[in-house]
Structure 1
Amino acid sequence: MLHAIGIIPARYASTRLPGKPLVDLGGKSMIQRVVEQARQANLSRVVVATDDDRILSHVESFGGEAVLTAPDHPSGTDRVFDAYRQLGVVADCIINIQGDEPFIHPAQINALVDLFAAEPRPQLATLVKPVVSTEELFSPHLPKVVLDAQGYALYFSRHPLPFQRQHAPTDWLAHHRYLRHIGLYAYRPDVLADITLLPPSALEQAESLEQLRWLETGYRILTAETTLDTIGIDTPEDVQRALAQLKIEN
């Protein structure tokens, strides 16, 4: 049986929404909702990786598992690896589940887990989703990705790729199938250990996209496609959107 561990990085500090993991969403904290969604996926274990005792205590209070990591990790990837080392287990793959997406679908997590069921196992994996609107296509907050014929990522960008010389930008979606990136990652443990040692790369710094560091170094990122959407929480306005979504679902 495939041994897949889900790790949810959760920092207390946030410029736009301090204490974000503990924000109340309809009677449950955001981090509790993420944990509950992740527990429905095909994972042998779900662990919150946090830098704050308040989050640690809260997760344990609702029966979740959490570990306290170093406070100065530069990225969620580093925090995930810190937590994995503390667990002292050997997994077939590690899933990095965003701690600010309370509506993450178990099927999206399973799509990545399934990629590791076949040999050879991928080095890294992530999710892509078809772009459905011009607004999505041109939003720099929703990174796009282009793939090779085998489904491996060629490049990620905040700009729409490819550029269509023969068509006006307003018509691009009618002539090409664009994909956006969903920030859910899966790693082979040895690869996770290696990529945390890599220095920032030129492409990463230009686009402010960590995964470009891995591509630029030569790692390959396999993708799975989803049509399901999620709602990331970064601002007080996003909290209101999430509360509205909960009312719809209930």
Structure 2
Amino acid sequence: MEFVVIIPARYASTRLPGKPLADICGKPMIQHVYEKACASGASKVVIATDHQKVFDAVKKFTNDVLMTREDHQSGTERLAEVVDLLALDSDTIVVNVQGDEPLLASENVTQVAALLNDATAPMATLSVPIEEQAEVFNPNAVKVVSDINKNALYFSRASIPFDRNAMMSENAALELAPFQRHVGIYAYRAGFIKQYIELSVSPLEVLESLEQLRVLYHGYAIKIEQAKVTPHAGVDTPEDLAKVIAYIEGNPA
């Protein structure tokens, strides 16, 4: 199985400016992500950035970096540009890895690529079991339900599936087993990435603010299964960054 990993690395960040270059134990964050992605067995790992400072920093540890346009409205649009720049065949499996996940589990990258490789769907992703009741009702935790054939049925910020007995009774306990949280790692067939950006925006994705609902709305399948490794949270704030640094210092490679 061959697949390519693309890591979008935007310089701008409201809560943590210059995030890809944040120092983590002597390396910029983006280098940690790159090294974890390389450990997945990908045939190629490419960083796509929109800023010269990130480009220059990445060139110090790899030549696999591309400068992309600044005016993209979504990460998927940036992926489509990279697919064109690399002239990837339409059947090539592309895994999109976020550039703010320095504790990325390389096993999950391999897993999502393999899931798509074994399917006819144009897209695949992962989930993890929800273990705390508060997360069921947290709109920032995206829930997903799937069918017996590992096809995603729906993604929502709401508490899906709706446990009628538990939620309409004062005494019944909420059973967490049916709840799955979506993990934001995707594998695509390269040709579908360009198809996706031509699809009309769906009313569901606008309501939920979830881009992947456009795929389901237009009748395409998204394969999904539980991640082999529960992923660590990404870095959005200085507090998140401090936690990652503490973790790496306490768990040296």
Equivalent residue number for residue 194 of structure 1 = 195
Label 1:130 to 1:58 Cα distance change in 2 as closer, same or farther (>3 A): same
CA distance in 1, matches of 2:214, 2:58: 32
Mapping for residues 165-244 of structure 1, pairs under 5 Å: 165-168=164-167, 171-174=173-176, 176-226=177-227, 227-244=229-246
Equivalent residue number for residue 38 of structure 1 = 37
CA distance in 2, matches of 1:219, 1:144: 19
Query: Alpha-carbon deviations, 1:213-232, whole Å to 9, x = none?
Result: 11111111001211422221
CA distance in 2, matches of 1:249, 1:141: 28
The percentage of counterpart residues that share the same residue type is: 39
User: In the comparison of the two structures, how many residue pairs are matched?
Assistant: 247
CA contact (8 A) 1:35 1:64 kept: no
CA contact (8 A) 1:42 1:113 kept: no
Equivalent residue number for residue 94 of structure 1 = 94
CA distance in 1, matches of 2:63, 2:16: 23
Look up the equivalent residue of 2:185 and give its one-letter code: L
Runs (4+) off by over 3 Å: none
Equivalent residue number for residue 128 of structure 2 = 129
**TM-align CA RMSD:** 1.6
CA contact (8 A) 1:10 1:49 kept: yes
Using the size of structure 2 for normalisation, the TM-score is 0.93
* Shift in Å, 1:167: 0.8
Query: Alpha-carbon deviations, 1:107-165, whole Å to 9, x = none?
Result: 000111112333x5321000111111112222211101000111111110111101112
CA distance in 2, matches of 1:146, 1:248: 36
SS of the counterpart of 2:140? coil
CA distance in 2, matches of 1:225, 1:46: 24
CA distance in 2, matches of 1:65, 1:43: 13
Equivalent residue number for residue 74 of structure 2 = 75
* Shift in Å, 1:9: 0.6
CA contact (8 A) 1:102 1:231 kept: no
